[in-house]
Amino acid sequence: MSVNAPPVLEIDHVSFGYGSELALDDVSLSVGRGQFVGLIGPNGSGKSTLMRLAVGLLHPRAGEVRLFGAPVGRFRDRHRIGYVPQATASRTGFPATVAEVVSTGRVGRRGLFRRFNQDDHRAVERALDSVGMSGLRDRLIGELSGGQHQRVMAARALAGEPELLLLDEPAAGVDAVAKVELLDLLQRLVEERGLVVVYVSHDFETLRRYFSKVALLNRRLLFYGTPGDLGEQHDVQRQLVEAALAADHHEHGHGGG
């Protein structure tokens, strides 16, 4: 790997909005090799929007997103990225098994018209095993719990053997144990295989030990640095974020959000 290799993910002065209001305002951050980035912010802070911009599902109003140095619109090596969306409502009626869903993670890698081969099968089984879902491989996906579903979606992304994994944590429906197991697995993949992870969550305190870098987002990027720096040197940002998170909890308390 060259020292001059471009960053894996670059968000370059990106703004995005629905209508007149800006959901993201001039956000810039760069994710390099070997990083496990926590993207933290309250509900409505633009985290999921930023992820959708990063994978090219949305197009910025201003600025540019680059993957491995290439503008996202012209990025062709799609198999190098994996994306786990915030699966709010799993498709309960969809007639597919866990293994079948995970195998869709290989389609980008296979290329059009190529048959599913031994490598593909092995990658699917490995991914299932890594998230502890091998035992449920033939279960219909509609019969899974929220946490199991999230793990299947993670396995689906991992089956493509990506170099960059973007994971949008669901706000509800995942139990704490399953969440920690998934994070432990991701940390292992970061350390052993050099996977780059961007993990979206609104929960910072319980997760901080996993992250090599933390991005605090609330429409604008409030902080981007190591968790240590955040704790010691950036009181102002920290207060801002805590205020934002507190406001978010307050909203939740009243059934909003």
Partner 1 sequence: MGQFIDALGQGYMQRAILAGLVVGVVCPAIGVYLVLRRLSLIGDGLGHASFAGVAGAWLLGVYPLLGAAVFALLGAVVIERLRSWRREYGDLALAIVFYSGIGLGVVLTGLSRRMNANLFGYLFGSILTVTRLDLLVIVSTGVAVLALLTLVRGELFALAYDEDLARVSGLPVSALNYLVVVLAAATVVASLRVVGILLVAGMLVIPVAASLQLARSFRQTLLYAVVFGVASVLVGLFGSYMLDLAPGGAIVLAAVLSFLAASLAGRVGRRRTAMS
CA distances (Å), origin 70, targets 47, 78, 216, 244: 22, 11, 25, 34
Q: Which residues between 175 and 214 bind partner 1 (CB under 8 A)?
A: none
CB of 89 to partner 1, least distance (A): 12
With binding defined as CB under 8 A, does residue 95 bind partner 1?
Answer: yes
CB nearer to partner 1: pick between 74 and 254 = 74
DSSP-derived secondary structure letter, 25: E
By beta-carbon proximity to partner 1, the closer residue of 19 and 95 is 95
SS3 assignment, position 53: helix
Q: Which of residues 64-83 bind partner 1 (CB under 8 A)?
A: 76, 78-79, 81, 83
CA 3 from centroid of its chain's CA atoms: 26
CB of 57 to partner 1, least distance (A): 6
DSSP string, 120-186: HHHHHHHHHHHTT-GGGTTSBGGGS-HHHHHHHHHHHHHHT--SEEEEE--SSS--HHHHHHHHHHH
Stretch that binds partner 1, among 24-32, 92-100, 184-192, 225-233 (CB under 8 A): 92-100
The residue (of 52 and 219) whose beta carbon lies closer to partner 1 is 52
**Two tokens, residue 137:** 């491989």
DSSP 97: B
Residues 122-141 that bind partner 1 (CB under 8 A): 138, 140
Query: Which residue carries 């998230």 as its tokens?
Result: 131
Crossing angle of helices 146-159 and 118-130, in 10° steps, is 140
Selected binder of partner 1 within 12, 25, 100, 181 (CB under 8 A): 100
| Residue of 66, 151, 156, 202 that binds partner 1 (CB under 8 A) | 156
**Among 110, 126, 208, 234, which residue sits at the site for partner 1 (rule: CB under 8 A)?**
110
Contact positions toward partner 1, by CB under 8 A?
Answer: 55-57, 76, 78-79, 81, 83, 85, 91, 93-97, 100-101, 103-108, 110, 112-113, 116, 138, 140, 156, 160
